[in-house]
Amino acid sequence: MIAARRSLLSWSAFFASLAALPPLLPLLGVDGGGAVQIGVLNDIGIYLILALSLNIILGHAGIFHMGHTAFFAVGAYAAAILNTSCGWPILSALPVAGLLAALLAFLVAVPVIRLRGDYLLVVTIGVVEIVRICLVNNIFGLTGGANGIAGIGRAVILGRRLTTPADIFYLIWSFAALSVLLFSLLENSRFGRALNYIREDEVAAAGCGINTGRHKIQAFVLGAFWAGMAGTLFAVKTRLVDPESFTFSESVMLFAIVILGGAGSMAGIVLGTFLLIGLQEIFRDFLEARMLVFGAAMVAMMIFRPQGLLPARARRYDTGGRTGASPGAAGREKKPGPPAGNGAAGT
Kindly list the residues in this chain that would bind other proteins in the complex (CB under 8 A).
182, 185-186, 189-194, 196-197, 200-201, 203-212, 218, 222, 314-315, 317-320, 322, 324-325, 327-340, 342-347
CB nearer to other proteins: give 28 or 340. Answer: 340
What whole-number distance in Å separates Cα of residue 310 and Cα of residue 265?
7
Strand-pair partners of 241: 149
CB nearer to other proteins: give 111 or 339. Answer: 339
**Minimum CB separation from other proteins for residue 113, in Å?**
14
Instruction: Please report the DSSP string for 95-144 in residue order.
Output: HHHHHHHHHHHHHHHHHHTTS-HHHHHHHHHHHHHHHHHHHHTTGGGTS-
**Minimum CB separation from other proteins for residue 2, in Å?**
15
CB nearer to other proteins: give 159 or 337. Answer: 337
CB nearer to other proteins: give 191 or 248. Answer: 191
Q: Which of 68, 87, 90, 70 is nearest to 79 (CA)?
A: 90
SS3 content of the chain, % helix, strand, coil (to 5): 70, 0, 25
What whole-number distance in Å separates Cα of residue 171 and Cα of residue 230?
11
Q: Which of 156, 181, 254, 166 is nearest to 15 (CA)?
A: 181
**Minimum CB separation from other proteins for residue 95, in Å?**
15
**Minimum CB separation from other proteins for residue 257, in Å?**
22
CB nearer to other proteins: give 60 or 239. Answer: 60
CB nearer to other proteins: give 140 or 317. Answer: 317
CB neighbour list of residue 42: distance below 8 Å, 6 or more residues apart: 165, 168, 169, 172, 237
- Planar angle of CA 22, 27, 30, nearest 5 degrees: 80
**Minimum CB separation from other proteins for residue 335, in Å?**
7
AA letter at 121 = L
**Minimum CB separation from other proteins for residue 12, in Å?**
18
